[in-house]
Structure 1
Amino acid sequence: MILLARELAGRMRALIAIESEIADTTHRQEDEQAILELEKKRSTQIRSFTRDELLVIQTVMNIGRCERGYRYYANSENPNYYEIIHLPIELNEYELMQKHSYFLVHKTEQELADRIEHYTAVSEQLKEGLAILKL
């Protein structure tokens, strides 16, 4: 599974880039048609992955979400503001992939694609997961 993750690292970074472009376009409040085109491009890219590739991407996202600690600041100006706490990771990359894919193996390709497509923090979790796995 980690070997497939290494092969997919470039495609995961491309997905992160598209989401970054969507965020920039939305922030600049540009043409809504441009945003829709970017979202369609993102959707097409997600749907182009095989089930095994989607399983790996979701696993990397889970690693990015679960293997770090987070400190939330309730009194900040931004209600979603948090800080990542870089806790030591005790498992190796193989053990991490196995641990975080355990329940995902029962998902269909459609379920995995829908989950990734409709989730809003894909880029953030993929970046962190790629960093933890050193991909």
Structure 2
Amino acid sequence: MAKLYINKGGYLLLYSLAISLTGRMRAIMEIESEMAEAKLSHLGEEVVRALEQKRSDLINSCTRDELLVIKTVMNVGRSERGYRYYFDRDDVEIIHLPIELSGPELMQKYSYYLVHKTKQELSGGIEYYTAVSEQLKEGMEILKL
């Protein structure tokens, strides 16, 4: 794949790449779902470690550009909604604010600082983050992927 150069038309390319990566993002979310089920079912450390390794391998098999897009979708999911936290309970309410920007515009807004990160920084930022599935799901919904 050609290296992404972010210019005026480059954000359309980012959005197109996001569309093509929906399967990979869903695969990451599925593995994390399996990990959560394995932990709840007490299937053992080896099963959980195997799933963690599978997730890590999937993330590390991505190119830098693919990681940039995945991290951007996560950022959209984390930042484009409102959240209400309650002091007397642990749950968080998502406030569905109106989305005024298009998909490519959102990709531009949330990838702005990520374009300077290396592949290792991007993969580490995804691999070691605990709310990847939640943010990917929200980001994909917002971007209509």
Instruction: Please indicate the TM-score interval, normalised by the length of the shorter structure.
Output: over 0.9
SS at match of 2:42: coil
1:32 aligns with 2:73: no
**What is residue 118 of structure 1 aligned with on the other side?**
128
> Cα deviations across residues 8-43 of structure 1 (Å, max 9, x unaligned)?
001100100000000111111111100000000000
Which amino acid letter does the alignment assign opposite residue 93 of structure 2? E
2:110 to 96, 100, 103: 100
SS at match of 2:94: strand
**What is residue 15 of structure 1 aligned with on the other side?**
28
Q: TM-score, normalised by structure 1?
A: 0.96
Residues of 2 paired with 1:21 and 1:82: CA distance? Answer: 23
State, as a whole percentage, how many aligned pairs show the same letter. Answer: 63
SS at match of 1:83: strand
RMSD of aligned alpha carbons: 0.5
2:88 to 47, 59, 75: 75
Moved over 3 A (4+): none
Alignment gaps of 5+ in structure 1: none
> Cα deviations across residues 87-116 of structure 1 (Å, max 9, x unaligned)?
000111110000000000000000000110
Q: TM-score, normalised by structure 2?
A: 0.90
1:109 aligns with 2:122: no
Alignment gaps of 5+ in structure 2: 1-13
Residues of 2 paired with 1:84 and 1:30: CA distance? Answer: 31
SS at match of 1:61: helix
1:63 aligns with 2:76: yes
